[in-house]
Amino acid sequence: MKQPDAPAGPAAATRELIRFDQVTKRFGDHTVLDRLGFSVDAGKHVTLIGPSGSGKTTILRLLMTLAKPDEGTITVAGRQLFPAGEKQIREIRKDIGMVFQQFNLFPNMKVLRNITEAPVTVLGLSKDEAEERARELLDLVGLGDHVDKYPGQLSGGQQQRVAIARALAMRPQVLLLDEVTSALDPELVAGVLDVLRDIARSTDITMLCVTHEMNFARDISDEVLMFDSGRVIESGSPDKIFNDPEHARTREFLSAVL
């Protein structure tokens, strides 16, 4: 049954969640992002590819307010990130979950507590509600039997899956994934990517991924942005970017990594 407040028609169905407008970021005299513009609609899975040092991680760090742009504007769900008061930044950060290369779990907390900690302290969930949510997510990432372990008792791939569950426990609107498999032993990569494929398929979460896993990018992306020297030099569907790239630099990059 149609809900009375459900958005009507295709125009209402697209909602811009992230927007970069003329964003420049410099470190010293090195311009890492150069008047960058792109946007991500809610529910879409967008992948950033390109050579090392082209500025991809910096984009995720700006969204997490771990770095500040020198020029330009960044908005998340219509709210501007810089400048923004502390309260607004806290609100925006609740909408954003991030999974890092290094899993960054709390080593002294069991798996369950790693996941419940922020929902209890930041969102104000009761311990029972947070544990119920955590157990569902641990099932989703295939670790339902590991709630009582410490991170150090898990493989890197399992720790990364806990980190994914931990990010999702905050029910963010967008999940930022920064080369989440690059610190893993090769035999553990597939398990983590399968979990992410599953999440991309079965939830409506927006994803912004930096990855060197081109098959994964091809599978999950609605749009792929090819970066070089702090700018998007080409963007499009995975089919276009991987099978029919326009830019010589994209062809060169893909032939080196595929």
Residues at the site binding ligand ADP, with contacts judged by CB under 6 A = 27, 32, 52-58, 210
Closer to ligand ADP by Cβ: residue 58 or 173:
58
Closer to ligand ADP by Cβ: residue 88 or 101:
101
Cβ–Cβ < 8 Å for 254, 214: yes
HEC profile of 118-172: HHHHCCCCCHHHHHHHHHHHHHHCCCCCCCCCCHHHCCHHHHHHHHHHHHHCCCC
Query: What is the phi-psi region of residue 202: left when phi exceeds 0, alpha when psi lies from -120 to 50, beta otherwise?
Result: alpha
Give min distance, CB of 25 to ligand ADP, in A: 8
**Environment class of 244 (CB within 10 Å of its CB; exposed 0-12, middle 13-18, buried 19+):** exposed
Give min distance, CB of 78 to ligand ADP, in A: 25
d(CA 133, CA 145) in angstroms, rounded, equals 15
Give min distance, CB of 24 to ligand ADP, in A: 13
Closer to ligand ADP by Cβ: residue 111 or 209:
209
Query: What is the phi-psi region of residue 53: left when phi exceeds 0, alpha when psi lies from -120 to 50, beta otherwise?
Result: left
Give min distance, CB of 210 to ligand ADP, in A: 6
Question: Tokens 């955590």 correspond to what residue?
Answer: 134
Closer to ligand ADP by Cβ: residue 50 or 119:
50
Closer to ligand ADP by Cβ: residue 130 or 233:
233
Cβ–Cβ < 8 Å for 138, 82: no
Alpha-carbon distances of 221 from 31, 196, 216, rounded to whole Å: 28, 12, 8
Give min distance, CB of 36 to ligand ADP, in A: 11
Closer to ligand ADP by Cβ: residue 206 or 211:
211
Angle of helix 156-168 versus helix 111-121 axis, rounded to 10: 20
Give min distance, CB of 223 to ligand ADP, in A: 17
Closer to ligand ADP by Cβ: residue 162 or 217:
217
Element holding 31 (H helix, E strand): strand 30-41
